[in-house]
Chains A and B, each alone.
Chain A
């Protein structure tokens, strides 16, 4: 589960700062597999760094097709993150707080794209919104064609990223509980006012980490995009698709672009994580 650790609404100031002084109770051997796991994640990055052709690095990543792919990636990832925000926040609220029957089924359904192979997700989108798809044939009548457009890229990304935001935010909402909202209501605040002034601020850290996860997932989206949107330069060929394509023709370019993806992803996570540390320490 990619559920972030939702920060509870308790005051940050009351947290113990000297965590290293407390007795952890961990068996010593546990550090060995933990370290092995960390290395397993870290060493491949070194592998990429070692393979980068530093001499031609800048020309490789600033080639026209690279820049186009990077721009398209950032654009579509931002758009799909926005879509996740608009659709995912209400979904998380209903799942966490709404008086819904069959909540467990609903949640499983919402989380499906998380465990589904992205290619399958892409196929599902294609047979739904494609020209001959379930919904697509009606859209076709209206003159709307979604498949193999930039919109399709955004849709594919949103489809796979949405669960990340929903899971993360729902966890934060559950941890926060509904007591502040009840108090706010008895103080005369209508539900929308409570949502804006109480609920959202209280779960902001959870929302932020959900958005970061959704953005990062969108940025790396490959399978669903390729299946539903294809790989048209400047239209649907995002950075991961460009990397995969270049791997065949120009491995050096592929590695350089891969490094760019790593750096962008690391920056996104770093910015979000760093900000949360600041909040915790400075509150």
Chain B
């Protein structure tokens, strides 16, 4: 049940390809408006592509060149949206039985199947209720069961936790982790945790294009797009390599780092990225910057201070680059930081991972 799609929709500025192996789960990440939901609509058949082609399990879902186009109900692609969208006029059991009924299964058999899938999501007790009588978390669980009961070849989950309160999300996350195992699925998420827990591969979409893709752990550890770096909680800067372990960033200057073992060193002049943790940045006032071991020191201006658990996150910018640094509240107070303060950001070269973009 592998899924492969390349599609472009001009009016939405989307042109991207997705590739999901049999039984794999792909996490689709990206800022709002990057075109993630449009890709889902394309795969489900709710939007037509200007160009491109999609195949699921060897079947052609659409092919703009030849004009082939399967209607949504014939695709075997189930879509689970942010909101559960349970049919309000049907009981929970009949909601879950909807897919089997639609495929021509008898009422009794459909209900038996529905009861089975409700069991899978621990919702058997809710069977006789109306959707209006469910909490948000319960409704989303039932929606998962309903999607699974349709026995889709491809399951699309569009931010399944977005509409849930904080208390209900972990249970559903565990549940999805269980039911997605061995299933071909794509999940849109803003949470790096979801990507780690649910997905084998990650695709980062920016401005309708694929910014980067790769195995989840590797991509989040060595991101190459700002978005993925932000998700992973890392600073990322990009520029041409000036040496094997240095690159030049406009507005910041030279960035010296270390090429991690197993990563490709950039050739001089090629695009490279440098990645480092906010906690590895030390913040100084311009007049008392220490000198010593190989380190980076960049001038920047504080833009914003943001309390973040036991720490203070300093958003600092130099022309063209924005970085974040984590300090203790005491250090931040001692430095007397405020938006507009000139600072020097210092990072040891050993704390900067540098690799080819």
Contacts and interface: CB of A to CB of B under 8 A. Distances in A.
A57 B132 CA distance: 50
Contact of B73 (A191, A197, A204): A191
Contact of A11 (B88, B90, B147): B88
Interface in A139-187: 179-180, 182-187
Contact of A186 (B72, B130, B132): B72
B103 interface: yes
Given A186-B72, A197-B98, A11 B44 contact: no
Interface string A171-212: 000000001101111111111011001100110100000000
21 contacts: A13-B130, A13-B133, A180-B87, A182-B46, A182-B72, A182-B79, A183-B81, A184-B87, A185-B45, A186-B73, A186-B77, A187-B98, A187-B99, A187-B102, A189-B99, A189-B102, A190-B71, A193-B102, A202-B88, A204-B89, A283-B132
Interface string B71-96: 11111111101000101111000000
Nearest to B85: A183
Given A179-B81, A189-B102, 20 more contacts: A9-B88, A11-B130, A14-B132, A180-B85, A182-B44, A182-B46, A183-B79, A184-B98, A185-B45, A186-B72, A186-B77, A187-B73, A187-B78, A187-B150, A188-B76, A190-B102, A191-B73, A197-B98, A202-B87, A283-B130
B298 to A, nearest CB: 49
A179 B143 CA distance: 14
Interface in B117-158: 130-133, 146-147, 150, 152, 156
Given A201-B89, A202-B88, A184 B102 contact: yes
A10 interface: yes
Contacts of B152: 186, 188
Contacts of A13: 130, 132-133
Secondary structure at the A interface, as helix, strand, loop or mixed, is helix
A12 interface: yes
Given A185-B71, A186-B78, A190-B102, A179 B85 contact: yes
Interface of A: 9-14, 179-180, 182-191, 193-194, 197-198, 201-202, 204, 283
Contacts of A9: 88
Given A180-B87, A182-B46, A188 B132 contact: no
B79 A188 contact: no
Nearest to B155: A186
Given A11-B130, A12-B132, A13-B132, A185 B88 contact: no
Contact of B87 (A12, A185, A191, A198): A198
Contacts of A202: 87-89
- 4 closest residue pairs by CB, A with B: A11-B132, A189-B102, A185-B72, A187-B99
Contacts of A197: 98, 101-102
B99 A188 contact: yes
A9 B90 CA distance: 12
A188 B102 CA distance: 6
Contact of A187 (B71, B88, B133, B146): B146
A184 B89 CA distance: 13
A194 B131 CA distance: 18
A13 B146 CA distance: 23
A256 B133 CA distance: 50
Contacts of B73: 185-191, 193-194
Nearest to A14: B132
A97 to B, nearest CB: 13
Contacts of A11: 88, 130-133
Contacts of A185: 44-46, 71-73
Interface in B47-90: 71-79, 81, 85, 87-90
